[in-house]
Amino acid sequence: MHRVLIAVVLGLAAPAVAQEGDTYDIDAPIRDQARAAADSALDSDLAYEITRSLTTEVGPRLGGSPAEARAREWAVEKMQALGFENVRIEPFEIDYWTRGDIEVDVVSPYPQPLIATALGGSVATEGEGVTGEIAYFESVTALRRAPEGGLDGKIVFIDQEMTRTQDGSGYGAAVQMRYAGAIEAGKRGASAVLIRSVGTDSHRFPHAGGMAYEENIPKIPGAALSSPDADQLRRLMEGGEAITVRLKMTPEDRGKSESGNVIGEIVGSERPEEIVLLGAHLDSWDLGTGAVDDGAGVGIVTAAAKHLMDLYGAPERTIRVVLFGSEEVGLFGAKAYSEQHQNTLENHVIAAESDFGAGRIWRISPGIAEEKLPITDAIAKELVVFGVGPGPNNGSGGPDLSYIRRDGVPVVSLNQDGSDYFDLHHTPDDTFDKIDPDAMAQNVAVYASFAWIAANIGETFRAEPAEESPATP
């Protein structure tokens, strides 16, 4: 019944080659092939099995670590076994940081341990750690408004909660305390900073994630408390007594280490130099096994391309799968890809990245030239049967596409339902058992449909060059 419904509904709409006013129609063969690819994907567990393999056989994959190197080897072997062409690693170097151990204890007036984790890139505490009175701030904005100085020797606690949303928009506001907390606390003389985890769960799992420092501002240690432990510290503060905490943590910078992007392709039959890019990131934080962030994305884009390869062989344009390295620790793979492919970015037709778990896709949001929106409008009509609706022309494509988007590559965001994504994001609870195979199959169906259409239509997604005015005599 489901297949019949797909055939009926997809047959009503058509994506783009012929322009008629402000609409486009897709050639019937492309439309039918996209439909068949989606149908195949819904009946397949390939993405689920790829993600199982990565998270089981490699596990956590911190950028620059030996585990990330094993993940690259795994990816090359997997892509070659699946039949991709031009499978390769494009290496680059990063600064390799390790988490170490951590102890956080309330010293007085009510001694007890708290659960926390070091923030990515943090410096270590010296000796037996730092002990100081807690200085409470309800948000990073409140900390920024505090006068510089005045917190000498204190440990800042930023207690900003994250709002749960379908599209993850609550993350942008909350993550500022993670990035900037140590900078702002350091400006004011604090000895360390603790933040409430940037997440939406109520479990005793702290959320990892990167932080930042600035030149000429003291580098102080930074750590994230689990939400229940942040609640506990807040309750202690509400009693009105001075709360003293000891923090001891041993992260370490280990110097330069090799990372890399892994690439595999279905080489185009007619316009092989033109690229439709499907991306995900191969690395993960080290607390869980990186299933929703971003083992799921690896499975989704790899399986989508594999389905197309098995059904039809080569599309007209090349479909390139890029598994970016070292995303979590600073988008280093994204930057390296942009630099290493700078001379051919003009041939990248469009790009999309899966990096928001494995929830069902509910919206397609392009980031393309306004004049080309009829094309993505037509693609959106093909996806409506999957519960996917059209979104605004403000799609980012995904974190690893930020550099090539800046350089002019059109992108599309296939927005997943992230209502519970930040319950798991960057925590020890990010494990394979959290993935719904049916929702994952829907993702593969959507990616396969989108990729086949984009790789076979004659249109581009960039603005057409302006016509030159004839020279006046």
Residues forming the active site: 327
Rounded to whole angstroms, the Cα distance separating 161 from 182 reads 17
Burial letters for 245-278: b for 16+ Cβ neighbours within 10 Å, e otherwise?
Answer: bbbbbebeeeeebbbbbbbbbbbbeebbebbbbb
Residues 6+ apart with CB under 8 A from 419: 164, 165, 166, 359
Distances in Å between the Cα of 326 and the Cα atoms of 180, 191, 257 are: 21, 29, 11
Rounded to whole angstroms, the Cα distance separating 444 from 352 reads 13
